[in-house]
Chains A and B, each alone.
Chain A
């Protein structure tokens, strides 16, 4: 649905070349919610602008819905919806008029029907004749999302959809994006909110001028940290750690002592589901008192920070 090949965008600032996007190779599948993560200034907004044909590439090629950017820009713009960083509404006009203008510009066949559909869908119908400038941030953001969807685009670009929103408004917007997931649209989501990315995205890309990593959050987690089982014990000892280390499939064991002799063994494994029973059996045979066993799950934040700082470019594709 979205494909880029060595996509580059360089800007000239004070006689210096700034590489905003440098050789991006990416493939986003149809119907997928794709998270695009990166620090401020990483080039996320530039990428969205490139893919929605607002700016042209310096080098490289890209296709959106099989249409090549730079060659069929007007057609691409008709097939994508974009939520820009700021809602950018006409504050002096009503919510309905805001949407009518965009429906007409996108050439929507039945303007009134489509406007009503999205105003109702986003629970703004009662406020349809109220000036958009009087809306709360959350309502403005919902109206901007409605504007991006009016022409039923198969591809939707959402640039920081919940930034600067209070938790309640952010949840409303997130729930709405979640409801779009089942509609078969391809959603390209730029966000700083890793929890949001984890919850909404099928795959994520970590990006800083170029692609650092791309996969499902779970795969990236496993690639970076492997899989780890944590065994909580009433009494932990080095002897128990030696017993576990002696098992052929165990990669690494770390002892984490707690209060009053209690503690944990953190065991790196390739397949915890198959290997945990043997570990438990070996520990019980040594007289260990197991309190509970769980899998150590690294947050997406751990993955992101690891990729950005500890391993700046470990999985470059």
Chain B
């Protein structure tokens, strides 16, 4: 356990001193929190026309918006949709940290002395994984918390606010978000085994966000309805992907593989 703590502390001390990583860890969550908050504010102060309402009709068929006035429905539906952005944090932040933490060590050739210590591969992988994962999950939860504080003031009614603490969002934040983090960390490790440039690793790692865009665009386009079932199903798919990627990640993160096959 002490070794894992040392690795986590080392990662945070070393990687977070990298300006690029620091900006992603701090600025991205700030930006992704600001968007739904601003949306919430604007929608709470804008009149809803009949044409707007008609355009949103498919999205508003979601039972969680049932019984809301047009203004309440518009505010909760659009802001709620942007809550999906919070799920990007557990992907973007860990992928960025993992990319720098592993490829960075590869580039500076500090991985070999590290692998020569008595630390086990599991401890090392756990240390690096936790160092990458924790900021992602914490920032996602923190952003969600900050959003809820603003939502308390900007929601046009208590019924709107209750949409943001609907069980589907609790599933998204406390089940799907950690699973997405595991996915991102393992994806970061796999990408790290193939590239030698941290920026290339980060760019490749960013591809992991693409499947999540389905949850962002789907409800707007009307082919997905955001509800607990959607998030439970997404969690199941991600969990299965996690199992596969953890297996590949652990296989790739072996001393011999790293030293002799990583290019």
Which residues of A come within 8 Å of B, CB atoms? 11, 49, 52, 54-56, 74-75, 77-78, 80, 82, 84-93, 97, 101-102, 104-107, 144, 147-148
Alpha-carbon distance between A75 and B117 when the two chains are bound, in angstroms: 10
B199 proximal to A (CB < 8 A): no
* Residues on the B chain within 8 Å of A106, using CB: 117-118
* Residues on the B chain within 8 Å of A92, using CB: 13-14, 17-18
Among residues of A, the one whose C-beta sits closest to the C-beta of B119 is: A105
Counting from the closest, the 6 A-B pairs by CB-CB distance are: A88-B110, A86-B109, A78-B118, A105-B117, A104-B6, A88-B109
Number of B interface residues in the complex (CB < 8 A)? 27
Alpha-carbon distance between A74 and B7 when the two chains are bound, in angstroms: 17
* B1-17 interface with A by 8 A CB criterion: 2-3, 6-7, 9-10, 13-14, 17
B13, B113, B117, B118: the one within 8 Å of A84 (CB) = B113
B52 proximal to A (CB < 8 A): no
* B76-131 interface with A by 8 A CB criterion: 108-120
A86, A97, A101, A107: the one within 8 Å of B118 (CB) = A107
Among residues of B, the one whose C-beta sits closest to the C-beta of A159 is: B112
Alpha-carbon distance between A77 and B255 when the two chains are bound, in angstroms: 12
With A104-B2, A104-B3, A144-B113 as known contacts, state yes or no: A90 contacts B118, CB within 8 Å.
no
Q: Are A105 and B109 in contact (CB under 8 A)?
A: no
Looking at the assembled complex, report how far the CB atom of B12 sits from the nearest CB atom of chain A, in whole angstroms: 11
Q: Are B117 and A77 in contact (CB under 8 A)?
A: yes
Alpha-carbon distance between A62 and B43 when the two chains are bound, in angstroms: 72
A11, A104, A147: the one within 8 Å of B113 (CB) = A147
B260 proximal to A (CB < 8 A): yes
* Residues on the A chain within 8 Å of B255, using CB: 54-55
Alpha-carbon distance between A144 and B115 when the two chains are bound, in angstroms: 14
B259 proximal to A (CB < 8 A): yes
Q: Are B118 and A74 in contact (CB under 8 A)?
A: yes
Looking at the assembled complex, report how far the CB atom of A146 sits from the nearest CB atom of chain B, in whole angstroms: 12
A88, A101, A144: the one within 8 Å of B6 (CB) = A101
* Residues on the A chain within 8 Å of B112, using CB: 54, 84, 86, 88
With A90-B14, A104-B2, A105-B118 as known contacts, state yes or no: A54 contacts B259, CB within 8 Å.
yes
Q: Are B2 and A49 in contact (CB under 8 A)?
A: no
Looking at the assembled complex, report how far the CB atom of A95 sits from the nearest CB atom of chain B, in whole angstroms: 14
- For the residues of B in contact with A, the DSSP-based class is helix
A86, A97, A105, A148: the one within 8 Å of B3 (CB) = A105
Contact flags B233-263 to A (C-beta < 8 A → 1, else 0): 0000000000000000000000110011000
* B152-183 interface with A by 8 A CB criterion: none
A77, A97, A107: the one within 8 Å of B13 (CB) = A97
Q: Are B108 and A55 in contact (CB under 8 A)?
A: no
With A49-B259, A104-B2 as known contacts, state yes or no: A54 contacts B116, CB within 8 Å.
yes
Looking at the assembled complex, report how far the CB atom of A82 sits from the nearest CB atom of chain B, in whole angstroms: 5
* Residues on the A chain within 8 Å of B14, using CB: 90, 92-93
Q: List 16 A-B contacts (CB under 8 A).
A: A54-B112, A54-B115, A54-B255, A55-B259, A78-B118, A80-B116, A82-B113, A84-B109, A84-B112, A86-B109, A88-B108, A90-B110, A92-B17, A102-B117, A104-B2, A106-B118
Q: Are B260 and A11 in contact (CB under 8 A)?
A: yes
Q: Are A55 and B260 in contact (CB under 8 A)?
A: yes
With A54-B255, A101-B6, A104-B3 as known contacts, state yes or no: A89 contacts B118, CB within 8 Å.
no
* Residues on the B chain within 8 Å of A97, using CB: 13
Looking at the assembled complex, report how far the CB atom of A187 sits from the nearest CB atom of chain B, in whole angstroms: 16
Q: Are A56 and B10 in contact (CB under 8 A)?
A: no
With A55-B255, A55-B256, A55-B259 as known contacts, state yes or no: A89 contacts B116, CB within 8 Å.
no
Looking at the assembled complex, report how far the CB atom of A148 sits from the nearest CB atom of chain B, in whole angstroms: 8
Alpha-carbon distance between A137 and B115 when the two chains are bound, in angstroms: 22
- Most B CB within 10 A of own CB, among A92, A107, A144: A92
* Residues on the B chain within 8 Å of A52, using CB: 116
Looking at the assembled complex, report how far the CB atom of A143 sits from the nearest CB atom of chain B, in whole angstroms: 11
* Residues on the B chain within 8 Å of A85, using CB: 109
* Residues on the B chain within 8 Å of A101, using CB: 6, 9-10
Alpha-carbon distance between A233 and B262 when the two chains are bound, in angstroms: 63
Given contacts A88-B111, A88-B112, 9 further A-B contacts (CB under 8 A): A80-B116, A86-B112, A88-B113, A93-B10, A101-B10, A102-B113, A104-B2, A105-B3, A144-B113
